[in-house]
Structure 1
Amino acid sequence: MKKDKKILGVVFVVVLWLSMMFGGLAFAQEKFPSQGFTLIVSWTAGGGQDMVARGLAPILEKNLGQNVAVKNTPGGGGSIGFMEAMRAKPDGYTIVQFSPSISILPYMMKTDVFYTKYDPIAYGGYSPGSIMVRTESPFKTIKDFLDYAKANPGKVRVGNTGFGSIGHMLAIDIERAAKLKFIHVPYKGGAPSFTAALGGHIDCVAAWVGDAYPLVQGKKLRVLAVTAPVRNKFVPDAPTFKELGINSEVITGYAWAAPKGIPKDRMNILYNAFKKSLESAGFAKYADDQGATITIKNPEEYGKFLVDQDKFWKELIQGAGLDKTQ
């Protein structure tokens, strides 16, 4: 009986090895791409990440020669979409859009999601974080805001896009860097937080320039300062926090990855298609309309960036006492 079990075990290992080997050969021999793609966006339709995906998809289709269907899978702070992508077949036809949430989630909840379980394809650019106020606000400059916040600790109401969200982390980082104390007011997404700011229900909102760009253009909201390393061309009058001696450079990135194990030749095809699409005049205009800055990183560069981001977000979340995994 023991001998039979041993033989069965050996047979199982051999079969598994053969299936993996010939499965890989099948991937290698199959023309790529030969079918449509699914681009998973882990947030609701109409948000900043979704708008970037839908602006890029038709350009990507031309460069891949196949349909690219954007699939919204909101929920769980992005974890539902990330999990779906992680469990998909690593054949190159499932792509997931990344944001800093991929680095934040593992420290905010119990989840299997972790950036090392994906193969990075490309990083496309970013939108800077900012402190925004309604036009009628008494805070006309970032100095007005900082002076008041320092003189009134625990009184400034700062809206964000939800507890544990990237917008919440943005507010926490500004609070940390400027040595302030805010009242954090979470909302279910960017739009409700902007509405609250416009209605005077909160003093300001910590948000991404790209997400509120139409309201900024329409002079409904005013950007006091940005967290980018340099001034943003869309709001050139707004200083960076760095200029003020405040070390806060949190940005929200737009990037893409695939399930772990995608063949290298297919990865090269995908990256080249993304690079060409991101460099296109059509996407440059779209990025301008969204207030985003294009900065392309290849798979290796983006992989190294993810390592740095994991360290940054872990330290910030733990420093704020919000780590739910300890």
Structure 2
Amino acid sequence: MSRGNKIQSAAHFIRTRTVLILGIGFLLLTGAPSAGAAYPEKEITIIVPWAAGGGTDLIARFMADLMEKDLGKPVVVVNKPGGGGLVGFKQIAAAQPDGYTLGITTNSQILQKYSASSYQDWREMAPIALHNYDPSGFTVKTEAPWKNITEALDWAKANPAKMRVANSGPGAIWHVAAALLGSKTGVQFTHVPYAGANPASVAVAGGHVEATRVSPAEDGTLVQGGKLRIQT
């Protein structure tokens, strides 16, 4: 395979899925708070294991709005970032199995079993809806000297560990996506974790790191505002 094809293959979109989940006990209790009770009777909370403003957070808020209109009760989104999603994952798993605490997760949760020192077993939760698939892009500051991804990777390969790539936390999907790109192209990145894709993108715009590898939905506002540029 030629170098150009190799780079294109490695840079090809990595797809990630987002799933609405809740404590597995909820399904074991048939999803009803009590016999004969109308559901819901009170406010519902959706836990997002990453910082506000990222793609997963936006999905949760979109879903919360639809649920409020359909169910007639408040649906509140609560962000619990940290540990590449681990903090939020654990809170979702520990929630009362009464149907009033839901959570948003991605395949980052499964990946953490192999890429992080600690993880939350996904089998302690029950998926109830598949929301979306997200592509990922390689994004740099608008003023960056590289005109395309080939130039960026050539520079990174010639300067091992000098290109700092922000991600949404250790072991999270965007960390793995950047690591895979480096592995496939022979580039050594320095991976810098943040509390979510949004703060990772802001770090690139602020010049604190050289690049990030997140979904266009998560850095789209900064791209449209002329702060960031997706490499092609």
Q: Same fold (TM over 0.5)?
A: yes
Q: Which residue of 2 aligns with 1:234?
A: none
One-letter amino acid of the counterpart of residue 208, structure 1:
S
Change (3 A) 1:194 1:62: closer
Paired residues, number:
205
Q: Are 2:124 and 1:128 equivalent residues in the alignment?
A: no
Q: Which amino acid aligns with 2:216?
A: V
**Aligned ranges 1:280-299 → 2 under 5 Å:** none
Q: Provide Cα deviations, 1:119-156, integer angstroms capped at 9, x if missing partner.
A: 11111113322111122222111222233334444443
CA drift at 1:199: 4.5
The letter for the 1-side match of 2:176 is: M
Partner in structure 2 of residue 205 of structure 1: 212
Distance 2:113 2:172 in 1: 12
- Partner in structure 2 of residue 183 of structure 1: 190
Distance in 1 between residues matched to 2:208 and 2:83, nearest whole Å: 27
Which of residues 57, 62, 66 in structure 2 aligns to 1:55?
62
Match of 1:174 in 2: 181
CA separation of 1:26/1:33 partners in 2, compared to 1, >3 Å: closer, same or farther? closer
Q: Distance in 2 between matches of 1:90 and 1:99?
A: 20
1:211-290 residue pairs with structure 2 within 5 A? 211-225=218-232
For the aligned residue pairs, the C-alpha RMSD in angstroms reads 3.0
Distance 1:146 1:78, change over 3 A: closer
TM-score normalised by structure 1 residue count: 0.54
Aligned equivalent of 1:149? 156
CA distance in 2, matches of 1:25, 1:184: 44
> Structure 2 regions of 5+ residues with no counterpart?
1-27
Residue type of the partner of 1:213?
A: G
Distance in 2, Cα, partners of 1:193 & 1:24: 37
Query: Higher helix proportion, which one?
Result: 1
> Could you list the per-position Cα deviations for residues 129-186 of structure 1 after superposition, in whole angstroms to 9, with x for gaps in the alignment?
2111122222111222233334444443323334333332221011122232223234
Q: Distance in 2 between matches of 1:22 and 1:64?
A: 20
Please point out which of 96, 99, 116 is paired with 2:103.
96
Q: Which residue number in structure 2 is paired with residue 31 of structure 1?
A: 38
Match of 2:50 among 31, 43, 55: 43
Q: What 5-or-longer segments of structure 1 have no aligned partner?
A: 1-20, 226-326
Q: 1:155 to 1:38 in 2, by over 3 A?
A: closer
Distance in 1 between the 2:228 and 2:60 partners?
25
Q: 1:34 to 1:196 in 2, by over 3 A?
A: closer
CA distance in 2, matches of 1:196, 1:24: 42
Q: TM-score, structure 2 length as denominator?
A: 0.73
Tell me how far 1:188 sits from its aligned partner.
4.7
Contact 2:84–2:170 under 8 Å retained in 1: no
Compared CA separation, residues 73 and 145, structure 1 to 2 (3 A): closer
Q: Which has the higher Rg, Structure 1 or Structure 2?
A: 1
SS of the counterpart of 1:215?
helix
CA distance in 1, matches of 2:197, 2:141: 15
Q: Could you tell me which amino acid in structure 1 is paired with residue 121 of structure 2?
A: F
- The residue identity in structure 2 corresponding to 1:61 is E
Query: 2: CA distance between counterparts of 1:132 and 1:203?
Result: 9
Deviation at 1:27, TM superposition (A): 4.1
